[in-house]
Every structure is written in structure tokens, then in C-alpha cells.
Structure 1
């Protein structure tokens, strides 16, 4: 059942105007340093991207029709909007930021808001791409004056951070992994992705700007995001649609870095040859290619993955690309994200069997973890990542998430160690000092 909050009361007529900013205005200022005290909205990678604040319109929806509801709402908003775009690059003009629940019932046990999928049309957007910086103002019915753009105050660093087990302890999660391996060996399925959480209690409500800034600085090659109390730095692009070209970065197969360059180079080689990790990766790539194929006239799926090096881990990665065919020119980035979710990289394969096993044994409400997060414009172009290396917060309580792909050769102890490595980015972004880190 779908429960849609705050539907349109008749046509909502938004006016959006994008104008270039003088480069000197924000010379050397990271986009994340513009975010307001409430955290605002962010989608940033390697210095480029979008940050925003204010709220011109908002949709919240839950249930199995959440993507369809959001897509229909956005088409209506876009159809009635007036867009005056003097910049003409991806992300300028009318845009909405969004994040979605992982499953049809995600978050329901923790209250309605926790399970809501959301699209937010901000009042002000500042964007930067390939040397071009701009500001977009959005309001109802009339043009808004271009605001003064300047860095905000320094965020308050988290204090008194105390970490504790979430839904399961490490030992309990290893038992869950063992059960999954048993089911795979029995032929019930080929792969399942299992997640676990870690809880952080802070001495005061979280100022999300602090971890968002730290993540953007420490992981510049990831997409750092903040949408409606969900933040993180994901290395995985679920789908990008730009002027008819569709791309997706698939990650599956992981090994932890040691910090020793020579040792890490050897580990990268072993990852690239690992039959267990290559099997896991193949399932993930196939699921993405199969989901995109109906929308594309041509596709490029590399035969072998490359190794993506991040500060804490290395992944097997494959970039899948396609051209939208004539019959699906109106398929938006959000529609493509809905078709892809959940891929084998976050669910498993076969999809139905993997999701059923997750519901049965995982003992975790994922909320919006491992689901699409990103932005969309009035033409349907946009970028949707997978909310990995992420956390949801409510006041002074933060839930961190990590997941691992389980196949027949998986070792529970090794999978636990991998999950701990994947918790490092957000864990370190919250910790004010090494004394705060969990043992």
C-alpha cells in the first residue's frame, strides 16, 4: 500500500532561474562549506557537484509504488515549471534531490518518517562543474532575487561519541552469514548481500555538516551526499542519465587496504584474480546490464573489471554504458534507478530469492541504506548513487551501515572484517578523536 504525504494541491508552478557566478565569488571554497546549519542538501564529488538549502516543494511517499509516485509527481512539477537556465550544464535549472527506502516496508518499524522516500526541491542551489559555477533560485510563482553566496560558520564537531552494536553483535552476524552460505550451498540462490549496523550516541544533536565535510575531503573520488538526515560517501553510481547516455558503475568484490603501497598493490592483484570476488562481481554486472538493456539501443559491458582504489578498501569495478533507444527517450534517471534497484550488488541473485532470504535472516531494518540517493532535473537527466558508506541520524543518535556480498566461498570471519572496513569512512567522520573509535 502506498501512503503519499503532501501531494500537490492543484498545479504547483515553480519558477527556476540559473545564472553563472563569478569564479572569484567562491575561489577555493569547497561546496560543502556553503551548507547551512540544518545540513541542507549535498551531492559532491572531487570538488564538483551540487549543494542546496531551503525548500520550494517536497514529496514523501512510502510503499511499493514509491518510485512511481515520485516519478509522477516530478513530471507534474516539471511540466508546470518555468525554467530560465543561463548556464546549460548538467545540474543547472530546476532540480530535486531525493533518497528512497530500500524495500517496500523499510523503516516502518521505526516510524513513518524513517521509512519515507523523499524528493525535495530546494530554494537555492549552488553548482560547480568543470570550472563553471552557478546559482539557481527556485520559488513558487515568481522569480527570486539572486542571493549572496558565502561560506557558513564552522560546524560543531561531534562530541562524546559512543559506539555500540546495532541490531546484531559481530558474532551474531557471523552466524547469519554462515546460514546464508548454507542456503547458497543447498542451491537456494547464488548470492545474497547481508547488511549490519553500528549505532553511535553523541553528547549533542549531530551537526551533519561536520561529517559531510570530512567525507568529502577524505574520499574525493566518492559521491558525498546529504539528503533528509541521510549522509555518506558512496563509491557506487547506480545510474547517470545525461542527454541520452546512460552509465552505471558496478562495485562488488572488496579487499581491505593496509596502508603499505607495495602490499596493497599485491592485494589488488589478488583481488583481481580471486574466483570468489570475480563470481560476486559477475552477478552484480549481469544484473545491471540486464536491467538497462530494455532501455538501450546499444550497450558497452567490459569483459573484465578494474580495481578501484579507495583510502580504506579496494573494489572490483565495472563501468557499464548505454545509449537510450528511441522508444525510451522519456525514461528519466529516476525511472532507470527504479528499474535497477535493488541490483545484485546490494540484494543478490536471483533477486526474489535473495530479498526473501534478507527479510528472513538479516534482522535489520535497512531504512534508506543501499537504496538510490541523488538528484534529477526537469529534463529527466540526473545522477542516482547507491547509499553505501552511509548513516541515518535523528538528533544525537546515528545508525551506520555496511553490507557484504555472500557467495558459496564466503568466510563469515572474513566478511565481518570486510564489513568493519566499510564502516570506517562514516565512523571516522564522526569520531572527534581516536579515543572515540570503537575497538
Structure 2
């Protein structure tokens, strides 16, 4: 079965240099925003030149690449810059569960980008007026009402305790349990407001928006630039302290924690095992380092490699997802336990999110620290947070960690 496709090939694509656009979220003219921003650079986009919804299944990344190859190879492309992210680009978001439907790729009509001193505007199709005219100024959400999602806090702690018992009985080494919160606003939630607040407060994260999924993930799943790839493995977390001295003490505790080091090792080892067959050389550090964000402290391992042959970034995604950082290990038993204990559909939370261009370059993160707007009611959204569970996990501590991970999106909504 082919993906459901609504596209008008061949596409006509024109990229032109433009003056520095300044704040990228502020240039989005409509609420139907697409975005990928890191330290103020990246791409934002709007409109739809083509779109596909990809069925669940083990070959979904292959299907996605085939659809894009057909679309991009027939396109008429005028791209004098030839940089990653110029020319036609597809934004994508895949469901966490490989069997679940709902993964999407969108080729926007307008793409505004800034990278390494260059700025550009790509238009797909015939231009219609000034695409940067602010047609609908953003309005911050008001009248927010919060409620539990699928599980209450005590019920989720019980699920964590159950997972710990399963792990201690030898069924698996680690699983990752997520919970959700629901928010209701007085009027439709404008993604541009959330993007602006997230990029301001979390510039070191990768702020994204794809088809109503908005967030700021600290985890770079894969970046492909030519034959070079980069990844950032995060696993092992503590909330930030109240003072610099407290932060330092917590960082040292994290580095010396057998529980967190074991959780991190599961994720780093899996990334090494997944990427080694694809690479001519690969560097994975022997010891993790500390990554400090405004809300939490992570154990982090930056990974770098060179691909052994031409591979799209989607090919590398297929090898990596789902990682132990968002699923557990071994993958099969961990995924089965998630389906049993979470009692919810994660949708695209904890799935790959990012972009790919016509050369196969792209950047993809894991959709963490995010919210998903309700497509039937844009005044409603679900927020997600998850924690890695191992044999010595404490349910109360995991709940506190989840609360800290909700903070970026709560702040973005509340201002």
C-alpha cells in the first residue's frame, strides 16, 4: 500500500538570497507554522506544496524516502546557494510506535532560512504577493485550564513501580514511561507564540513545529551533512538546582550515579551498534559529559561519524529509531511494556521530528518537551514527558523528573 499522497508534481522551486530576517518565528505570517531553530538559526516555513501521510509499519522510512525521491527528482529547482536547507525541503514527524499510523511529511510553499551568515527564501509554485506579510498577528493563549491526561500522578507512579518489578524479574533492562497533561485555552493556540517563547528560553535546544506538534527538544537524533553525521545521546536526568553550587553538586551526583550511568550506557551502546554498520568511521565517547539546560541536567554523549556510502538522513533514522532513550532495551519487550502500562497513544511524541532537503541532508531530533494541538479543537493540547525506568528507579523521583520535563511547554503556554 502506498502512502496517502496529495502532491502536484512536478514542483517549481526557486531559492533566492535575502537580507538577514532577524527573529525567525516573528517572520511567520500564519499560524500554520513549520519550524526547526537552534541558537537562532534554522528554517521556518508555511503553506503546503505537497503532503503525505505514511502508514505504520517497519518500512515507513523507506516509503517516506521513496515519496520524496519521486517528488524532488522531478522538481524544477533553481537554487544558487546549494546549502543544507536550501531548495525544496520536507518537514516531517513520525509516530513513536512503528506500528502506529499518523506519520507525516509536508513540503511547504515558502521556506525562510538562516545559516552560517547566509539567509534565503525558497518559494515552491508561483509567487503570490509578499510571502512575508504578517497576515494574522499571533495572540498569546489565555484562560488556560489544566487537567490530568490519561493517568493521574498516583496511577502513573503505580505504573512505574510495576515496570521496576518487571525489570527486576529479568524481563528487560530498561523501559521508558511517559505521561500526558491536557490544557484547554480560551481561544485557538497559536504555535508562533510557543515557538517564540521556546527559542528565547531554550536556545540550545532544537525548537520545532510540524503539523501541530510544537516543542524544544534537547536530543539531536541525527544530522546528516554530506557524508558526515552527528548525534547527541541523552539519558540520565536530574532537575536543576536552586543555586550554582547546587547545580554542580547535582551534576556530580549524576555523573557518579550507577543508575543513571547504566541508563545512559544502554542508549549510547545502541546508537553505536546502529550506526557502526553505516559508517566508515564513528566516534562515541567512552564517558558521558554534562549538558545543563534551564530546567534539567542531562548525561550527554556527542557522536560523530562518516557514512560509508550515499545514504539519506531517512536511511539513518530507520536504523536509529526507537532508541533506548525513549523506548528501552531490549526494544521489543520495552515497547510491549510501554503499550501495556502507559494506557495511552503517544502519537508523535518521542518520535523523530525534523527536516530533509533534496540532497538527503537534514536534521532530526526526538520529539520531546513538546505539546500536540488537537486537530479537531485547536484550543486544546496534550503535553508529554517521559522517564527512563531501570531496576533501581524510584516512582516518586521519576514523577518529579517528569514534572521538570513538563516545564518548558507549561512556560511556553503560560508565558
Normalising by structure 1, report the TM-score. Answer: 0.90
- Matched with 1:317 is 300
Partner of 1:133: 119
1:178, 1:350 → 2: CA distance?
19
Query: Which residues of 2 match residues 332-371 of structure 1 at below 5 A?
Result: 332-371=312-351
CA distance in 1, matches of 2:116, 2:129: 22
- By how many angstroms is 1:30 displaced? 0.7
Residues 285, 318 of structure 1: 8 Å contact kept: yes
Cα-to-partner distance string for 1:191-250 (whole Å, 9 max, x where unaligned): 001110011011111111111110111100001011001000000011111010011111
Pick the aligned partner of 1:276 from 243, 247, 259. Answer: 259
Aligned residues: 411
Deviation (angstroms), 1:88: 2.1
Q: Where does 1:8-23 land on structure 2 (aligned, <5 Å)?
A: 12-23=9-20
Q: How far, CA to CA, are the matches of 1:150 and 1:282 in structure 2?
A: 49
Q: Distance in 1 between matches of 2:265 and 2:192?
A: 37
Deviates more, 1:89-98 or 1:414-423: 89-98
* Structure 1 residue corresponding to 2:210, chosen from 207, 220, 227: 227
Residue deviations 1:45-96 (CA, integer Å, cap 9, x gap): 1110000111111111221143222111011111111222112221111111
* RMSD between superposed Cα atoms in Å: 1.6
Q: Tell whether the 8 Å contact from 1:35 to 1:152 is kept in structure 2 after alignment.
A: no
Tell me the residue number matched to 2:173. 190
The answer to whether the 8 Å contact 2:6/2:50 transfers is no
Partner of 2:4: 5
Preserved contact between residue 195 and residue 364 of structure 1 (Cα < 8 Å)? no
8 Å CA contact retained: 1:137, 1:146: no
Displacement, 1:131? 1.6
Gaps of 5+ in 2: none
**Offset, 1:105:** 4.4
What are the superposed Cα offsets for residues 369-412 of structure 1, whole Å, 9 maximum, x if unpaired?
00000000111110111000011012111100000000111000
| Equivalent residues of 1:34, 1:152 under 8 A apart | no
Following the alignment from structure 1 to structure 2, what is the Cα–Cα distance between the partners of residues 148 and 336?
34
1:413-428 to 2 correspondence within 5 Å? Answer: 413-428=396-411
The corresponding residue for 1:41 is 34
Q: Partner residue of 1:32?
A: 25
Q: Secondary structure at the match of 2:3?
A: strand
Farther-moved stretch of structure 1 (257-266 vs 406-415): 257-266
What is the TM-score of this pair, normalised by structure 2?
0.96
Q: Which residue of 2 aligns with 1:437?
A: none
Which of 345, 356, 370 does residue 390 from structure 1 map onto?
Answer: 370
